[in-house]
Amino acid sequence: MGNWHDAHSLISIVLVGILTGWLASKLVHGKGMGIIPDMVVGILGALLGGFLANFFHIPMDNWLETFGVYVLGSVVLLVGIRLLKPAN
């Protein structure tokens, strides 16, 4: 039986990424940023999380591990954006 993550397509990354973007924005900002920014952050964060998990050999053998990695990737992305964005 193969790795759970390997069996899923880009569509699953997009769908889960939307949810993780919303959750990450709630964790970092205390509120959602809006549907489109949450979707973009979630999708890019899911890809970043998947890359980091692969790089650091973090297992993603079930949906909970995968979801956690996607949320973590989205949080890392948001924190990085916040650090690079000048304060108002």
Residue 80, token pair as written in the block: 């990085």
Mean per-residue pLDDT, 20-36: 83
**Of 4 and 29, more confident:** 29
Total tally of structural domains belonging to the chain: 1
pLDDT band for position 88 (50/70/90)? Answer: low
Give residue-wise pLDDT tens across range 46-74. Answer: 889 989 999 999 888 888 888 888 899 99
Range of the domain at 11: 5-84
The DSSP letter of residue 60 is: -
How many residues are there in the chain?
A: 88
Residue 82, token pair as written in the block: 């916040």
The dihedral region occupied by 85, where left means phi > 0, alpha psi between -120 and 50, and beta the remainder, is beta
